[in-house]
A and B are shown apart, each in its own frame.
Chain A
Amino acid sequence: MSNPQDDKPIDQEQEAHVILKVKSQDGDEVLFKNKKSAPLKKLMYVYCDRRGLKLDAFAFIFNGARIGGLETPDELDMEDGDVIDACRAMSGGLRANQRQWSYMLFDHNGL
């Protein structure tokens, strides 16, 4: 896949991006490279997408506060290697007829 940034000087590219780690409650980690000035909604979208979940299935938490989709790494003073926690609301209950989240796969119609 082509990267349009390729033709720019490397240091400039590093300057413009920040590498963030998204960590789920069960310890899974995914690294993302996000433009410092770009809203984080796409990162959130891609993450949910990869987990096969609806867009707002996760609360993305950075430094004890939830991230809104329109905030950018610059605004949040994010640095390389910073961790964003992705948390999900559990609904509990263990009735046999209820599917539990660990093995649930979700519908994408709402995206």
Chain B
Amino acid sequence: ATQQQQSAIKGAKVLMVGAGGIGCELLKTLALSGFEDIHIIDMDTIEVSNLNRQFLFRRSHVGQSKAKVARDAVLRFRPNINIRSYHANVKNPEFDVDFFKQFDVVLNGLDNLDARRHVNRLCLAADVPLVESGTTGFLGQVTVHIKGKTECYECQTKPAPKTYPVCTITSTPTKFVHCIVWAKDLLFAKLFGDKNQDNDLNVRSNNSASSSKETEDVFERSEDEDIEQYGRKIYDHVFGSNIEAALSNEETWKNRRRPRPIYSKDVLPESLTQQNGSTQNCSVTDGDLMVSAMPSLGLKNPQELWGLTQNSLVFIEALKLFFAKRKKEIGHLTFDKDDQLAVEFVTAAANIRAESFGIPLHSLFEAKGIAGNIVHAVATTNAIIAGLIVIEAIKVLKKDVDKFRMTYCLEHPSKKLLLMPIEPYEPNPACYVCSETPLVLEINTRKSKLRDLVDKIVKTKLGMNLPLIMHGNSLLYEVGDDLDDIMVANYNANLEKYLSELPSPILNGSILTVEDLQQELSCKINVKHRFFSEILNPVLNSVWFLIILPSTFPKLFHFTESRNQDGLSLDIILGFSNVTIRRVLTMFETGRRLTHPLLILFCHREEFDEEKEPEGMVLSGWTPSPATNGESASTSNNENPVDVTESSSGSEPASKKRRLSETEASNHKKETENVESEDDDIMEVENPMMVSKKKIRVE
């Protein structure tokens, strides 16, 4: 067996994508395991910060190509093997399907989702096995992807960091990180960032509608207003009255610790003017990033924990310094972890908020780590992962399909093991990349331009590099080098047109073919026009009851059906949720007759919610979730997604909402067999992560 293994390794031609943390370890392990033909692609150059863990590089190499230096370093102890390096982006057109076809296996050591998706598609198109990997801190994993045998990289959605549950940040923080996010992304952005950007800083309370006008103005500083006064006003607003406003919402605090409003007069001396002098003469440095509030307050150690008063002083002082020293930048500042003053301000603000909510305080150093999302890379993890990649690669070369494993690294042992091997999964039949399942795009075809479709969906969500869009036989859009000017002008003109006004109009029910020739990926998109009638607006935005009498039921259906041909979708007209309409349709199709009046409660929102669906379009099917049933699928389509908070009371309205849209009269429930009784299947016994230890029943 070993001889067979040796010959498999010797004869193999492998492609490594990425020569960074994993890549260095991988290349070394491959070379020492006997691989003799290795190609490396990496577009990066070596930086000083790489040197602590990417052992093939030395200080003298800083600035040079990673792929090339790694090759040279390995050739020094394995001079007789063939290594080829490419200092290029793997997404470049030269790395096409034919390029990938020459390899027996592709090994990924990448650092971003985009490139991983691209490589995955090329491997699928070229039918080359892919061994995928990734690490962060102590954690990591290795997976094997072989077309038709195991799932592809995109069969499971990969969580892309985006935003956060807004209500946890704005009103119910339970961890220090929530306070940091609040201070960094809300407060800091509000005070020093783009004023025009929407901001959830103000706590939503019951009477927010009435108070929203005046709260807007708190953050405006009039020309002659004293900075300290302004700082105190902000302080009192965000840590005092905002908290108090939130407290008035009793429902929120039933199962939570109530926060304590903090006002500046309680923690700070009446006037800080004596320190004004120091403000003037401190920080005579010229660099903006060097301005600091700490020296004037006598704070030196960034690892020291500040108390409430110190934090409050830093808050006011940092705010003052921003206005005194960096006034020009205000309005377009974004948080940067290397910006000392910004870090001080965010640390102080987060700590004051943490104090208010009874969350343990953190030092500047810790806060900086959290705010900058710094997770330290661990060289050992990379080495372990690289070893696992080689083990899997050898299995792939020996075609030991049954022995493939995907392995996760654990930080704490499970069954005394730190590695957890799992049998690879079957391909997901609903995956749009490796199967032919069409996607569904809900979009307002009269208000969206082709450019929106290309930018927001095809490039961003589908991750296509050189897309081509076809509707029927007509080509609507294409990117490539070999296009003539007339075509380019034509496509550019198309980009600015509304979908419904294109040469070949995209309307409700249109089927688009979107292809990427480089990735050899083609998928179909079924377009569903989402129409919003201004007349129906007040009706559809509220909760309504609809009683369907047995005698009107068939007529009702005909009504909706005839309207449907106008290009409106069925559920829009009556404000049904998808689930309800599906059930009604099933009843109709199976020839069931209503024997009792049917009561439908619905709350419906048809227009794209700017907060939840900022792009004004919804693509479904591209992130298939294995564990969803009909209900949750419909949730993503046209109702507010379940508003997740970390406590029972917070999720109450959401669950009510869901019920509303799905509740039918009990007689209906009996008629549809597939309605399962949803109660008490699961119950959370104890949750150490939650503040309230209360038992929570999950709907």
Contact = CB atoms under 8 A, between A and B. Distances in A.
Interface residues of B, number: 88
Given A61-B422, A90-B134, A95-B111, A42 B681 contact: yes
Most buried by B among A5, A45, A54, A110: A110
B21 A92 contact: yes
B272 interface: no
B414 A23 contact: yes
A52 B644 contact: yes
Given A27-B411, A55-B628, A108-B642, A103 B680 contact: no
A25 B22 CA distance: 20
A78 interface: no
A69 B377 CA distance: 33
Given A25-B411, A105-B165, A111-B636, A56 B156 contact: yes
A81 to B, nearest CB: 11
Contacts of A93: 20, 110-112
Interface stretch (B231-239, B485-493, B505-513, B685-693): B685-693
B411 A26 contact: yes
Contacts of B629: 41
Nearest to B141: A89
Contacts of A102: 136-137, 373, 375
Interface string B168-194: 110000000110110000000000000
A35 B677 CA distance: 13
Given A42-B698, A105-B177, A111 B642 contact: yes
Contacts of B646: 50, 52
A110 B636 contact: yes
B625 interface: yes
B162 interface: yes
A99 B180 CA distance: 14
Nearest to B113: A91
Given A1-B696, A90-B141, A110-B625, A98 B680 contact: no
Interface of A (DSSP majority class): loop
Contact of A25 (B373, B408, B626): B408
A12 interface: no
A92 B111 contact: yes
B363 to A, nearest CB: 16
Contact of A31 (B139, B157, B684): B684
Given A26-B411, A32-B685, A109 B641 contact: yes
Contact of B337 (A29, A50, A57, A96): A96
Interface of B: 20-22, 49, 109-113, 116, 133-141, 143, 156-159, 161-165, 168-169, 177-178, 180-181, 337, 370, 372-375, 377, 408-412, 414-415, 420-423, 425, 612-613, 623, 625-629, 632, 635-636, 641-644, 646, 648, 679-690, 694-698
28 contacts: A4-B680, A23-B412, A25-B139, A25-B410, A33-B684, A35-B680, A46-B684, A49-B642, A51-B689, A52-B168, A53-B159, A55-B627, A56-B157, A57-B159, A66-B425, A69-B626, A87-B410, A90-B136, A90-B139, A91-B116, A91-B134, A91-B136, A92-B134, A102-B375, A105-B163, A106-B159, A109-B641, A111-B636
10 nearest interchain CB pairs? A93-B111, A69-B627, A105-B164, A27-B412, A38-B681, A41-B627, A87-B408, A107-B162, A31-B685, A90-B136
